[in-house]
Structure 1
Amino acid sequence: MYTNASSALLLTLTTLGLSDAYIYPAFLFGTLTYLLIMFFNLLVLITIFWSKKLHKPMFILLFNLPISDMVGATAFFPQLVFSIVTQNRLISYPACITQAFLIHVYGTGNLLILSAMAYDRYIAICFPLKYNAIMTQHKLVRIIMIIWFINLSLMVTLISLLERLKNCRTNIVDLYCNNPSLLKLACEDTEVNNYYGLFTIVLLQGGSLLIIVFTYAQILRTCVMTNQTDARRKAIQTCGSHLVVFLILQINTMVTLISHRFESVSPFLRRALGVSVLVFPPFLDPIIYGLKTAELKQSIKMLLKRNVCSSRL
């Protein structure tokens, strides 16, 4: 018997498997992690907005990354910590759809933003004399608008294709709602959804990987050819941290999405990697960029000192 997707439909997320002794420690750990993610990312956002010397293409592109990270963290953590403390893994279908949409917007946004940042570093390092002429304010605004347009249009289409399906199951196979787990609830033919899912994976994962490989190959070639040791060290340091962030997101996301298509993959491994996509990038991004980017690090220190001094007056 088919069940129409409606506000009355309740779905059950995979159990967390926590014993009574670990409920409150897990609740406190999840809450603290979420608060730290929000604090660090808001600190980067406020610093970039406050410091005029950071109003450059690199940091304006970086400004979008904390926004995306906070969307992903907010889609995941509040529902998680609530279900931990209440021991209730039920979620309404509209809430599940909303969570899936926001989580996919986060993942897609991060890939596109990191790709745009790689392009910016490529122009800055390989064509330093032409950088200001190429990365104009007009072009920067256009890049940002394209990022969010592609992101939202792809994810709205993904969720629209999902919502047209009728469901006859209510058990979500993951710890949070996402497109692959919601597809497994359907009793109808999901061929169109599967093809569109593969299209988005190839476009986003493959496209971002090609951009990163090309830009970093050119950056590496330029760094090897240059005779300026300081410039080479600064370029490698900046690009190294960027590459770490990208690889964490790319590998975990790719393995998580592909694992849904193979029954032989361990559900525990799939869930662990799926959660890591939502925990590590939002937590590590502001720390990595805050510590490895000298200008941002200095501006954060100045902002904190200014607030401390103001509070004492």
Structure 2
Amino acid sequence: MDNRLNSSNILQLEAIYDSPVYVYPVFSILLITYLITIITNVGIIILIIMERSLQQPMYLLFCNLSFNDILGNTNIMPRILSDLLSNDRSISYVECVTQAFCNQTSSTAAHTILMIMAFDRYVAICNPLRYSSIMTTSMVLKLSAWAWGSALLTVSVLLGLTIRLKLCRSLIVNMYCDNASLFKLSCQDVTINNIYGLAFTMVLLTSSIGSIALTYFRIVTICVTRKNKELNSKALQTCTSHLLVYMIMLWTGFLGVIFHRIQIDSSYRKLSTMLFFIIPGNLNPIIYAMQTKELKTKMKKIFSVKVTQAQ
């Protein structure tokens, strides 16, 4: 096509379902899951901030994860909910790029944050006597800055390669904007985008899976060699929740990447792309609250006080 689009053009987002029969049930489900995500994650953050006993490196790092879940879901869910009740699914190019940037940053930061949390567990279990001197408040802040800074930098390059392209299409084949959907609007050669995108994904996944696998291998080795029941119990308690959260994020992410690159029924593809945000965002606070003794104790205490007052 000769008529090129520019940054002032309006793009169109794809509908979740073509049939109006599913609109209100899907809207209700998504609204409930979004509210649960926001309430539980905000509640966890407030609880950690208010309770001095919870202001430890592990929980401060978990605040990063909860904030990221809020960011990822808030970036796409309100827009999807609005589009479900409207026939106008238009979005400006600038708004679309912003949404894609936040979407990609949230996805990348989820990996870097969980890598740091794995390191924190490694130090706590394998070097307990040095834990307080290694995982200081300053160290936590530096690691958090690295998690978000590296995500912002790499995603900026990713989106920078995309916005340089001239567009010749206007339909985003997705319910929300992401990098892959954006550069597919171009009729130019996107080889560089594909190379960087694949390299970016491979480096992120390799470093993420590799570092966490190595960390857990070291933790298991220490637990086996020391044969300390208290140490093994602590490792099982704290590491199970972290590993479960990581596996959920990893597999929902894999589904999104795979379905984006193969020909599959549109409804399944759309559902898979939302799972990356919906499932981890809802399950992370529940998993950590149930598996982490300190959090569970504080939550029970709060609820018991409220029940007593109500009576």
Query: Aligning the two structures, in what range does the TM-score lie when normalised by the shorter sequence?
Result: over 0.9
2:79 counterpart of 1:82: no
Equivalent residues of 2:16, 2:270 under 8 A apart: no
| TM-superposed deviation, 1:3 | 2.4
Q: Give a deviation string over 1:232-258, Cα, whole Å, max 9, x none.
A: 123113211211111121222234225
Q: Any idea what SS the aligned residue of 1:86 has?
A: coil
CA separation in 2, counterparts of 1:230 and 1:18?
56
RMSD: 2.1
Matched, 1:293 2:292: yes
Contact 2:16–2:175, Cα closer than 8 Å, also in 1: yes
Task: Give secondary structure in 2 for the equivalent of 1:144.
Answer: helix
Aligned-residue offset at 1:168:
0.4
Deviation at 1:307, TM superposition (A): 6.3
Q: Report the CA distance shift for 1:85/1:257 in structure 2 as closer, same or farther (over 3 A).
A: same
TM-score of the superposed pair, with normalisation by structure 1: 0.92
Give the CA deviation at 1:269: 4.1
Match of 1:123 in 2: 123
Q: How much does 1:308 deviate?
A: 6.7
Separation in structure 1 between the aligned mates of residue 150 and residue 117 of structure 2, nearest angstrom: 16
Equivalent residue, structure 2, for 1:3: 4
Q: Please tell me whether the aligned partners of residues 171 and 185 of structure 1 are also in contact (alpha carbons under 8 angstroms).
A: yes
Question: Structure 1 80/125 Cα, relative in aligned 2: closer, same or farther at 3 Å?
Answer: same
Residue 306 of structure 1 and its aligned partner are, at CA, apart by 5.5
Q: Which runs of 5+ in 1 are unaligned?
A: none
Write the distance in 2 (CA, Å) between the matches of 1:266 and 1:17: 12
CA distance in 1 between counterparts of 2:106 and 2:302 reads: 27
Of 79-88 and 247-256, more deviation after overlay is shown by 247-256
> Aligned residue for 2:188?
188
Kindly indicate whether the alpha-carbon contact (under 8 Å) linking 2:5 and 2:169 is maintained by their aligned counterparts in 1. Answer: no
CA distance in 1, matches of 2:198, 2:20: 41
Query: Are the equivalent residues in 1 in contact too, given 2:16–2:267 (CA < 8 A)?
Result: no
What letter is aligned with 1:84? L
Residue type of the alignment partner of 1:290: A
Could you tell me how far apart the structure 2 residues matched to 1:287 and 1:148 are?
Answer: 24
- Report matched runs for 1:64-213 at 5 Å: 64-213=64-213
TM-score, reference length from structure 2: 0.92
**Shift of residue 6, structure 1, vs aligned partner:** 2.1
Q: For the residues of structure 2 that align with 1:266 and 1:115, how far apart are their CA atoms? A: 34
- Could you list the per-position Cα deviations for residues 152-200 of structure 1 after superposition, in whole angstroms to 9, with x for gaps in the alignment? 1112222222111111011222222111111110111212222221221
SS of residue paired to 2:91:
strand
Q: Which amino acid aligns with 1:4?
A: L
CA contact (8 A) 1:4 1:166 kept: yes
Deviates more, 1:39-48 or 1:146-155: 146-155
CA distance in 1, matches of 2:303, 2:266: 43
Matches within 5 A, 1:56-67: 56-67=56-67
Mapped to 2, the partners of 1:236 and 1:105 lie a distance apart of: 31
Superposed displacement of residue 93, structure 1: 1.6
Contact 1:2 1:166 in 2 (8 A): no
Q: Is the contact made by 2:48 and 2:59 (CA closer than 8 Å) also made in structure 1?
A: yes
Calculate percent identity across the aligned residue pairs.
35
In the other structure, the counterpart of 1:273 is: 272
Distance 1:2 1:217, change over 3 A: farther
| Rounded Cα–Cα distance in structure 2 between residues aligned with 1:173 and 1:63 | 33
Rounded Cα–Cα distance in structure 2 between residues aligned with 1:31 and 1:257: 25
Give the structure 1 partner of residue 256 of structure 2.
256
C-alpha separation between the residues in 1 aligned to 2:263 and 2:16?
21
Q: Which residue matches 2:223? A: 223
How far residue 26 of structure 1 moved from its aligned partner, in angstroms, is 2.0
Q: Which secondary structure does the structure 1 equivalent of 2:11 belong to?
A: strand
- Report the alpha carbon displacement of residue 18 of structure 1 after superposing the two structures with TM: 4.9
Q: Relative to 1, partners in 2 of residues 1:204 and 1:2: Cα closer, same or farther, differing over 3 Å?
A: farther
Q: Distance in 2 between matches of 1:215 and 1:147?
A: 17
Provide the rounded CA distance (Å) in 1 between the counterparts of 2:156 and 2:306.
41
Structure 2 unmatched runs, 5+: none
Find the aligned partners of 1:72 and 1:66 in 2 and give their Cα distance.
10
Instruction: Work out the CA distance in 1 between the residues paired with 2:117 and 2:264.
Output: 33
Deviation of 1:227 (Å)? 2.6
Question: In structure 2, what is the Cα distance between the partners aligned to 1:174 and 1:95?
Answer: 15
